[in-house]
Amino acid sequence: MYILGILGSPRKNGNTDTLLEKALIGARSKGAKTEKIVLNDLKMVPCQECKDVKGDGTCKIEDDFQETFKKIKEADAVIFASPIFFGSLSAQSKILIDRFQCAWRYKYMTQKTEGRGQRTEKKTGALILVEASKRDDFLANAKSIIKNFFATASLNYKEELLCKGLDYKGAVLEQKELLDKAFELGIRITEKPRKPSM
């Protein structure tokens, strides 16, 4: 099983990164192959809302998004981790998500219009959010964006870890319960969804 971690924080070894690492360690403890993408290290321009979009749902802009898009499609499960900035996801996270506009257009407009939309089996998606404040509305705002992104990327929103009150680098290291929850999230995301009993 291939688990892809996506870090939307610009701070390496910060609270968000630490929790994502714990989750990936949990996944590896179950034999999964893991990889982490640090969005801040990539060269990606924001969505340009191109008029002459490609017809297959892929983006025509050639930058690091292309390889990231490929890895998301190949992954059996994705863990997306972002800090809360100004009541929502980080800019790094949002750039990636907005670049899925072509995929959204193809999935919900082109395929539907042409009558050849195919139901694709959804894979597993998990979300880790970290905020310094304790604002539930900030978390809800970020979650709504991620849920739309997961739906476009054919990921089933299965797991979440929402962390409040982590207001300085390393604060999560004092929160063993959160570290344990991240590890357990990584374990659960490796489990194949059970088919409903008849």
> What pLDDT does 53 receive?
84
CA–CA separation, 129 and 144 (whole Å): 12
**How do residues 89-114 score in pLDDT, each as one tens digit?**
999 999 999 999 999 988 888 776 65
> What pLDDT does 108 receive?
86
Q: Residue 39: which of 8, 81, 73 has the closest Cα?
A: 8
> What pLDDT does 114 receive?
57
Q: Residue 88: which of 46, 47, 124, 130 has the closest Cα?
A: 130
> What pLDDT does 187 receive?
98
Q: Which CATH code, of 3.40.50.300, 1.20.140.10, 3.30.365.10, 3.40.50.360, is assigned to 2-188?
A: 3.40.50.360
Contact 24, 36 (CB under 8 A): yes
> What pLDDT does 195 receive?
43
CA–CA separation, 3 and 5 (whole Å): 7
- Token pair belonging to 147: 């849920």
> What pLDDT does 109 receive?
81
Q: Per-10-residue mean pLDDT for the chain, 198 residues long? A: 98 97 98 98 96 87 97 97 97 98 88 58 93 97 98 96 96 97 97 52
Q: Which residues pair with 4 in a beta bridge?
A: 35, 78
Which residues lie closer than 8 Å to 36 by C-beta, 6 or more apart? 4, 5, 6, 7, 20, 21, 24
Domain ranges of the chain: 2-188
